[in-house]
Amino acid sequence: MHAALAVHRVVADQAANLTSITRLTREAADRGAGLVVFSETALTGFVGNDDPVHDRLLAQPVSGPVTEQLGALSSESGIWIAIGLYEW
């Protein structure tokens, strides 16, 4: 199996990041990868300010809208997606 390491510019807009993640996932699948790997905070970025209240705002429910969308993207593209995110 071929793997792809996807590196994208993470911005403060989670929807924009998800659009980039979707595009890169499809591109990796089109190039024959069976796995695409993103950074740990590819969806939200990370600002280490030691404030749990701030970090909680970045968290995603599992299972939730983002994980459901990534699961559908994985199925549709025929590729495994490895991505780290803050879990709610």
Q: Is residue 75 part of a domain?
A: yes
- State the average pLDDT over residues 59-86: 94
- Residue 44 CB-density burial (10 A; 0-12 exposed, 13-18 middle, 19+ buried): buried
Our measurement of the distance from residue 86's CA atom to the centroid of its chain's CA atoms, rounded to an integer in Å, reads: 11
35 part of a folded domain? yes
Better-predicted residue by pLDDT, 51 or 28: 28
Identify whether 6 is part of a domain. yes
Range of the domain at 33: 2-82
Mean pLDDT of 36-43: 92
Q: How many domains does the chain have?
A: 1
- Residue 88 located in a structural domain: no
